[in-house]
Chains A and B, each alone.
Chain A
């Protein structure tokens, strides 16, 4: 029986009837992706996602932390957007989209909070203290506003604009380093939490930022580098992320698509 048992940590790899080309999709999925067979998952959750999206990965991490079974549906964004995606998120037309009992929830950090609130008997990502929650929201918002956008400019641009993006990225990493301090996780006393889940998906992107920006995270922000290694070993994170090499190759694909050299 597919259960929500908090002790179950391994999800057998199985092909989902939802995938349009199961064979070619398999090498894109984490080898132990929690895809379910055609049997409806008991939590009635479906995730519309794109394999390498750090935003989708936040949700995968949260679902794994909570041991919630769900149906993973790969949206092949490079080929176009499915009708289901467009209907579920008509405003932004973006993944991730969580469908719970068919009702959509959009925006990755909003989905993570939703999972905390809709499944209160599972380990929560936000802490319970209001002040700690406000801090977590602030820092997750900081990651949201800064990391992906600045990182994209690093690999998209050249010359002076790229140098500016590089300077900003160093500033971002140093700011996050100060916030992390000597804590094991951003969540502090709470343990692995909301901000960790928000930022962890960007760790495989560090190698690409380093290559394009010509710096080393370990030199600029050694505590962040150590944190990245720690979270990378955490099961929920390990099974949700792809290798830095795969991310680097994906950026190469995007650059070709945009005609950037």
Chain B
């Protein structure tokens, strides 16, 4: 593979944003040193390299940090532009669409499903679930708009928007195990559900998406430390 210099990724195993970056690096066949962070006790390396947000993922390339998962994915795509596959599409309008929907995933979809996860009662969980469904329907529309009937958002193979959405599957699958909620349901959003199955079975899905049980274990661990409900 193309010469790459020194690459480190500061991450957290269960973070969808970190998973997203790992997927991009995997697509490009780039190797890197992964350094798991303890976000409850942030280390010097993280604080020095992301002083503004103090969050993961942080990619450190030859000592220089890049932060914000979508900026990192685009960085990886641009640095390893000569390596196939291209993560972003070539056409400017399609790139704009991919960026638009990736922003939608982060601004709307992520907070919506996170609300389900954090709900303290079954009732609240149902409420959060009903707020999430219209968002999922929008993603079904996005898939139709972007894929042109092909297997993935990006066409015949996995790309930017597949990574943007797909990294969330870890927690969607975990919530199905924990609460029985099915956020991407074949009955409601059949095309998106089929895409999710294909994504999980794709090379990048199989190699990079952790098993849902890992997220379930993490959720249990976090529950223990959650302050008493008001």
For the complex, what is the distance from the CA of A218 to the CA of B217, rounded to whole Å?
A: 51
Q: Contacts A133-B75, A137-B68, A138-B68 hold; do A118 and B99 have CB atoms under 8 A apart? A: no
A137 lies within 8 A of B71 (CB)? yes
A134 lies within 8 A of B93 (CB)? no
* A130 CB contacts on chain B under 8 angstroms: 75, 78-79
CB-based nearest B residue for A130: B78
B74 lies within 8 A of A133 (CB)? yes
Q: Contact string, B80-111, partner A, CB cutoff 8 A, digits 1/0?
A: 00000000000011011001100110000000
* B100 CB contacts on chain A under 8 angstroms: 91, 105-107, 110
Q: Contacts A117-B95, A130-B78 hold; do A110 and B103 have CB atoms under 8 A apart? A: yes
B93 lies within 8 A of A105 (CB)? yes
CB-based nearest A residue for B79: A130
CB-based nearest B residue for A116: B92
* A118 CB contacts on chain B under 8 angstroms: 92-93
Interface-forming stretch among B30-38, B59-67, B118-126, B148-156? B59-67
Q: Contact string, A115-140, partner B, CB cutoff 8 A, digits 1/0?
A: 00110000000000011011101100
B residues at A contact (CB < 8 Å): 52, 61, 64, 66-68, 70-72, 74-75, 78-79, 92-93, 95-96, 99-100, 103-104, 138
For the complex, what is the distance from the CA of A105 to the CA of B97, rounded to whole Å?
A: 7
Closest 8 A-B residue pairs measured CB to CB?
Answer: A117-B92, A130-B78, A137-B71, A134-B75, A118-B92, A114-B96, A134-B66, A105-B96
CB-based nearest A residue for B97: A105
Shortest A118–chain B CB gap in Å is 4
CB-based nearest A residue for B103: A107
* A113 CB contacts on chain B under 8 angstroms: 95-96, 99
CB-based nearest B residue for A103: B93
Which of B68, B95, B96, B138 is within 8 Å of A141, CB to CB? B68
Q: A107-B103, A113-B96, A130-B75 known; 19 other A-B pairs, CB under 8 Å?
A: A91-B138, A100-B93, A103-B93, A105-B100, A107-B99, A114-B93, A114-B96, A130-B78, A131-B61, A131-B75, A133-B75, A134-B66, A134-B72, A134-B74, A137-B68, A137-B70, A137-B71, A138-B71, A141-B68
